[in-house]
Amino acid sequence: MNRKPNLKDVAELAGVSAITVSRVLTHPDKVAAKSRQKVEQAIAELGYIRNHAASALASNRSGVLAVIIPSLSNIVFNEVLQGIYSAVKPHQLQVILGDCHYSPLEEEKLIATLLSQAPEGLILTGTDQTDYARKLLQNAGIPVVQLMELTNNPIDINIGFSHFAAGKAMTEHLLARGYRRIGFLGARMDPRTQHRLAGFRKAIEDWNTANNAKNSGAEPSSARCEPYVVTTSQSSSIKLGGQLLQSVMAESAGQCDAVFCCNDDLALGALFAARQMNLRIPADLAIAGFNDLEASALVDPGITSVASPRFAMGQQAVELILQKASGAQTEFSPLDVGFSIMVRGST
């Protein structure tokens, strides 16, 4: 026999019926130890491997979890993925991963493709899905998680934190440290980066307002905080951080005394470049980042950054999907996992 063995072949060899073999594979406790042993031996002997497609078709359960991330190369999503994999492991689940390259349209296509696998659940990054994608997901009737950021209008389950609040908090930290000519270095400018930038602007606006009120008598302009915003649609890298630092220095005529980088890659690049420009950190220039990568804590000076529980978010996404899939009809309100500012030498 040259074709691959199937259930029936195993059943014949083991001297039982096909359905018993099937049960050994899916509900081993429903089968007497003796039969189970015979079946297991037959499986080993034939090198039998269950046909997942047939199983999924007959049982209407795919055992697949679909995940779409915006970028494989960004280590941030990698950590989320690790959380997802760690949570998936004890369950009989395969992960199908798609990379939508930060494009909602690609994401839409991917969703359509991945839904054809009839996944048990779907994990998306961010909250900017197209209308058609939302419709597809509604029709699919499976648990969907929007991860990383929060929205008032979730498709289903929503886990994340406010990038606006984080951006604002970090900027307030810089203001509190006395920096007044603060640059924002932004790359790729995906929605979350834009929220961080919005938080940055809000913090400065608020500060200027408050400051004007205080110094209502004096000339206000002298105490105003001046933001310098340099952004690019290029994707982020360490090298780019250095280039953007030069841009902001040029734009501010060297006045810039602090930069808030939209992520730690840029921040590291800015740090390396600042050293070459003979800027003392943080005396001449403060550097703040986002994501709290390992390197940020270990360079000298350490880079102040925003930490968030990425691994845990991934885990939680899987857990809530499984909860929901197993019938728990609890409503999940958006789950804010928060963030924290890791203050280090760079500010």
Find the binding residues for its own copies in span 296-315 (CB under 8 A): 298-300
Task: Pick the stretch among 46-54, 230-238, 276-284, 326-334 that binds DNA (CB under 7 A).
Answer: 46-54
Q: Which does 31 bind (CB under 5 to 8 A by kind): its own copies, DNA, none?
A: DNA
Q: Residues in contact with its own copies, total (CB under 8 A)?
A: 50
Q: Is 73 in the site for its own copies (CB under 8 A)?
A: yes
For residue 40, state whether it binds DNA (rule: CB under 7 A).
no
Task: For residue 286, give both structure tokens.
Answer: 């403060």
Task: Select the residue interacting with DNA from 13, 22, 80, 127 (CB under 7 A).
Answer: 22
The reply on whether position 51 binds DNA by CB under 7 A is: yes
Give one DSSP letter per residue of 253-271, joined into a string.
TT---EEEESSHHHHHHHH
Coil, helix or strand at residue 137: helix
Question: How far apart (Å, rounded) are the C-alpha atoms in residues 82 and 95?
Answer: 11
Span 61-90, contacts to DNA by CB under 7 A:
61
Helix, strand, coil percentages (3-state) for the chain, rounded to 5, are 50, 15, 35
Please, which residue, 112 or 210, has the CB nearer to its own copies?
A: 112
Q: Which residues contact 146 (CB under 8 A, 6 or more apart)?
A: 124, 125, 126, 127, 129, 154, 155, 156, 157, 158, 159, 160
Sign of the torsion angle spanned by Cα atoms 161, 164, 169, 173: positive
Binding piece for DNA, criterion CB under 7 A, among 58-66, 192-200, 252-260, 299-307:
58-66
- Closest CB 198 distance from DNA, rounded Å: 44
Chosen from DNA, its own copies, none, partner binding at 97 (C-beta under 5 to 8 Å by type): its own copies
| Using rule CB under 7 A, residue 44 touches DNA | no
Find tokens 């909602």 and name the residue.
104
Per the CB < 8 A criterion, the answer to whether 150 and 321 are in contact is: no
- Binding segment for its own copies among 56-64, 175-183, 205-213, 331-339 (CB under 8 A)? 56-64
